[in-house]
Structure 1
Amino acid sequence: MFSFEFMRNAYVASTIIAIVCGFVGVFVVSRNMPFLTHTLSEIGFAGASFGMFIGITPLNGMLIFTVISSILVGKMGTKSSRRENSISAISGLFIGLGVLFLALSNKSASYATNILFGSVVGISQSDVNQMVILSVIVLLVLLVIYRNLKFDSFDPVGAKAQHVNSGLISIIFLVLLALSVSVAAQIVGALLIFILLTLPAASAKYFSHSVSKMIALAVVFGLIGVWLGLYLGYITNWPVSFFIATIECSIYFAALGFNRIMQN
């Protein structure tokens, strides 16, 4: 299996993705942002389609669209009563734009499939290098703002009392989330990205109440999903995204069962 370059690239990329998604996902769950994550994935689909339309890589197109969108959402404020409705409208708009850009670019249906559901075969060494750079940036910035982000995510009242700039923290985190969505979509695709950014973290919270331990568990659950998913995809020739989704859902329901047992 590792004699093939695309599989080596896929495993390196998936490892990076699992680490980033595990770290970011804990804060996505604590800040109640799964819906926004799903919306950013749809915006990323439009960005990837736009990238192909103007002749740049889908990843660069996703980065442009998701980063700009995340900043605009952050400007709306975390407590805006209109934000959720606005996000719903934006989500529908960008799905339509994605379909339009695909049609205008005259690409085959396989390109749409790759964007929506990921493509292990399509990951090149240059893609891996770009993903490594973006992931390192995300993790370094997260480490810099970690204390304030943790405070603002898990104790917003206390953070406000301590004069933590919640607005700035939210915008920075949304930009990091946008980068994470763009990176992770290369493996699981735009439509399924919320799986890696939510389920491992959601599962981890049932096993630990410490933020650092939740992050570690979320990373482990993510690694199990992508590594095993890639292996099963290789030996069966079935979509890797299917296996990753199935594994992460299984871990989540197992975590729910564990939690129920512990409460009885």
Structure 2
Amino acid sequence: MFSYPFMQNAYLVGTLIAIVAGIVGVFIVARSMSFLAHTLSEIGFAGASFGLFMGWNPLLGMLIFTILASTTIGQLGMNENRSESLISSVSAVAIGLGIAFLALSQKNASAATGILFGSIFSISLVNIYEVVGLALLVLIVVMVLFRQLRHFAFDYSTAVFSLKNVTLIEVAFLVIMATTVAVSAQVVGSLLIFILMTLPASAAMRWGRTVWQMMGLAVLFALIGIWSALALSYWTNVPVSFYIAIIEAGIYFLSLVKTQK
């Protein structure tokens, strides 16, 4: 299996995305922002479709749409008590725009399938450089702002008063989330991004006692899901995203059973 370059590329990219999604996911779940991760998946679909329509790299379209959306919708969702209606309306518009841009771009069904469900086995060398660059950027920012992000995510009520430049930290957190969404789409596609960003972290937070333990376990669970899914997909010719969804959901359900005993 590992003698094929496309499998080597898939494991390299999958490993990087698992690390980023696991670490960032802990802050997302702790801040109770899973709803936004789900919304950004639909917005990412619209962004990727817009990129195809404009003749751009779909990743660029996803980055533009998700960053703009996260910094605006995220602020509204955190500050107002109407997040459910806001999310529903934005998701509906995003899906509609995605379908419209795909139709206008006149791309074939494989392009739409790649955006929705991922296409890690056909990832190019340019895509690898993009993922490596963005993943390293996200990790560096998270490490530099680790103490502020930890306070912001795990104790928001006091962070508002004790953190300097809390608005800047809030925006940085939203941009980090948006970038992670765009990068993770390379593996699971835009419709299933929230799986990697929420389930491993949710399971890890039932086992870990410190933030570092939670991040380590979240990365481990994400790696188990992606590595196993890639191997199973190679052997069975079933999409990677299916196995990732099943494995990560299984890990989460096992954590629920274990912690309730």
TM-score by length of 2: 0.96
Q: CA deviation at 1:69?
A: 1.1
Q: CA–CA distance in 1 between the matches of 2:163 and 2:254? A: 39
Give CA deviations for 1:146-195 in whole Å, capped at 9, x if unaligned.
10111111112332342443322121111111100000001100000000
Q: CA deviation at 1:145?
A: 1.2
Give CA deviations for 1:85-140 in whole Å, capped at 9, x if unaligned.
22321111010000000001111112111110101222111101110000111111
- Given that 2:22 and 2:215 are in contact with CA atoms closer than 8 Å, whether structure 1 keeps it comes out as yes
Report percent identity of matched pairs. 53
Q: CA–CA distance in 2 between the matches of 1:164 and 1:200? A: 31
Letter in 2 for 1:136: L
Q: Taking structure 1 as reference, are residues 258 and 75 closer, same or farther at Cα in structure 2, changes over 3 Å only? A: closer
In structure 2, the partner of 1:154 is 154
Gaps of 5+ in 2: none
Q: CA–CA distance in 2 between the matches of 1:101 and 1:60? A: 15
Q: CA–CA distance in 1 between the matches of 2:204 and 2:225? A: 14
SS at match of 1:76: helix
1:35 and 2:29 aligned: no
Q: CA deviation at 1:75?
A: 4.3
Aligned Cα root-mean-square deviation (Å) = 1.3
Q: CA–CA distance in 1 between the matches of 2:12 and 2:184? A: 12
In structure 2, the partner of 1:227 is 227
Letter in 2 for 1:160: V
Which segment is superposed worse, 160-169 or 149-158?
160-169
TM-score by length of 1: 0.95
SS at match of 1:73: helix
Q: Report matched runs for 1:91-102 at 5 Å.
A: 91-102=91-102
Give CA deviations for 1:243-263 in whole Å, capped at 9, x if unaligned.
1111101100110011011xx
- Given that 1:20 and 1:180 are in contact with CA atoms closer than 8 Å, whether structure 2 keeps it comes out as yes
In structure 1, the partner of 2:19 is 19
- Number of equivalenced pairs: 261
Q: CA–CA distance in 2 between the matches of 1:247 and 1:76? A: 33
- Given that 2:115 and 2:189 are in contact with CA atoms closer than 8 Å, whether structure 1 keeps it comes out as yes
Gaps of 5+ in 1: none
- Given that 2:29 and 2:202 are in contact with CA atoms closer than 8 Å, whether structure 1 keeps it comes out as yes
Q: CA–CA distance in 1 between the matches of 2:5 and 2:240? A: 17
SS at match of 1:44: helix
Q: CA–CA distance in 2 between the matches of 1:203 and 1:103? A: 39
